[in-house]
Amino acid sequence: MNAVKKLFLLLVTALLTACASTNDSQTNADNGQRPSMDQFGRMPMPVGTKLRTPESLIFGVGEGWLGRAVFELPNDANASYNFFAEQLPRQGWTMIASVRGKKSLLVFTRADRAATIEIEDSGLFSGSLASMTVSPVGSTGGASAGAGVVVQPLGGAGARRP
């Protein structure tokens, strides 16, 4: 009877191992279709940044990508804010608005694209979370250009954008 139990346990173990291997290979095949850090071209990211693929929806690669990407950043929200505020202008992005607080927001434009970055502490031991949305500017569909929110550019006390 003891030999039958051992044989049964061996068969169950083999079956579970085979199922786990099948799931791993399916997951790896799916990862080929999921967003990766390689898709962001010259978009500066802190060293150690991890992409949260299940929460991200990205179309295209390189300089023309658009969509929403969610990142785990290695630094706290304050350091992450400083990183993007300093590094994106070095890549040709112009900051047009920012809000610094418990949840910080940075808005940039470059040529015909806009990038919005929302940053907050992750609540874990360290690090922060960032949600970056990049899209084309000036679509011809939807609401008229005058129907949106007026954004006041940084540095211009009375300046307004149409």
Per residue in 113-133, pLDDT (tens digit) is 999 999 999 876 679 999 999
For residue 73, give Cα distances in angstroms to 43, 86, 131, 150, 157. Answer: 14, 16, 10, 30, 33
Q: Look at residue 6 in the predicted model and tell me its pLDDT.
A: 56
Per residue in 65-97, pLDDT (tens digit) is 899 999 999 999 999 999 999 999 999 999 999
Q: Look at residue 152 in the predicted model and tell me its pLDDT.
A: 42
Residue 82 CA to residue 105 CA, distance in Å, equals 11
